[in-house]
Amino acid sequence: MPTIKIYTTPTCPFCFIAKEYLKSRGIKFEEIDVSKDEKAALEMIQKSGQMGVPVIEIDGQVVIGFDKEKIDELLNLK
């Protein structure tokens, strides 16, 4: 099973969509609320170069935004 982290905020609609998509596929993930965790926010920016969410990390590979095709590719879903 891949290791998945989703950097989110409570008000982000694309974060919600990304989480619901993974849940619908039965895929477990760790959600990190960067609005409440400054250290995690800095980690996200360092990894992705982005301040916007969602940032999804799948086994060390970074996906910026809800890029369904890239997520499916990294998880071998078709």
Collapse the DSSP code of 33 into the 3-class scheme (helix H, G, I; strand E, B; otherwise coil) and give the result: strand
pLDDT(66) > 80: yes
Closest CA to 66 of 8, 17, 5: 17
What are the structural domains of the chain? 4-74 (3.40.30.10)
What's this model's pTM, rounded to 2 decimal places? 0.94
| Average pLDDT value over all residues in the chain | 95
> What is the rounded average pLDDT of the residues 10-25?
97
